[in-house]
Amino acid sequence: MFGVTDRIYTFSKKFKKYRDIEVDWKPEISLSDKYNRDWYCFVPQNTVRFSIFRNGLIPNCGNVFIYKIYSLNIIDNNPTRTLENLQIIYNDVSERLYNSFKEKKDISFLGVSLGNVLAVRAAGEVGSKIERIVSIAGGGKLGLSAWEGILTSNIAKSSGFRSPEEYEEILSSFSPVHYINKILAKEILIRLGARDLLIPFNHGQELASAFRDQASRTEAKYDCKIYPGSDHSATIFLSALFKVTERRLR
């Protein structure tokens, strides 16, 4: 809360060889014939490691594809490699989405933290109406969020670019704000923390504003909640505690 958890988490990463942690380029898959639904989830690795997060955030109805994202292995000081890393995952998502539409599934997306850049782009490029998109602790622009977030700022600022605007320009193909105006969803749910230090709150506000405008244009049901004293970690925890992905909008 109030940024303390984010600072402790960031400090702890200075003593770990995070580059040795393997990236899960393919999703963990849970299949069910009970519902005609496919969920595509892009979440931090810790979200599926601990039961309170997994049970609170990961849907349990239909087929669930869980892409486990570790930001320090995705964000590279060479932004070209950052794009390559994201594209590898996105290519896999695109192939599975094709099958979902072929099988006429009801499709939903969950993006948590960095996972928003993949969830929003996928939702915007499917070219058809989806059931819902849930965005937790995200930001509107990948490059600016990485540049200013305490976990990734050192990596971003060692990229050789002189300004956050230059850095954002090269990473803009995965910035969510460029895809939200293409999303046709029945329901849009947003959760943000006002004290977020990993993806600063102002970038979350930009994301939420774009979603609100799109919901108004497409008559989608829209729900945005801001946790006043919550940092990045607390926002994810509270979203899991209140089981946001199960919340139905009226």
- Beta strands 63-69; 28-30: pairing state: antiparallel
Q: What are the residues facing 223 on neighbouring strands? A: 189
For residues 200 and 143, what is the distance between their CA atoms, to the nearest angstrom? 12
59: CB partners within 8 A, 6+ apart = 37, 39, 41, 108, 110, 245, 246
Per-residue pLDDT tens digits for 162-219: 899 999 999 999 999 999 999 999 999 999 999 999 999 999 999 999 999 999 999 9
pLDDT at 3 > cutoff 80: no
Residue linked to tokens 């006043």: 228
Helices (H), the chain: 4-13, 45-49, 51-57, 71-74, 79-102, 116-125, 142-148, 153-157, 164-171, 201-218, 232-241
Measured distance CA(135)–CA(123) in Å, rounded: 11
What is the Cα gyration radius of the chain? 17
Say which CATH class 4-246 falls into: alpha beta
Is there a contact between 100 and 65 (Cβ–Cβ < 8 Å)? no
Q: Which sequence spans correspond to the domains of the chain?
A: 4-246
Residue with tokens 């393997």: 22
pLDDT band of residue 10 (cuts 50, 70, 90) is confident
CB 38 within 8 A of CB 62: yes
Average pLDDT, the chain: 92
Residue 233 CA from chain centroid, whole number: 13
Q: What is the C-alpha separation between 167 and 169, in angstroms, rounded?
A: 5
The pTM of this model reads 0.94
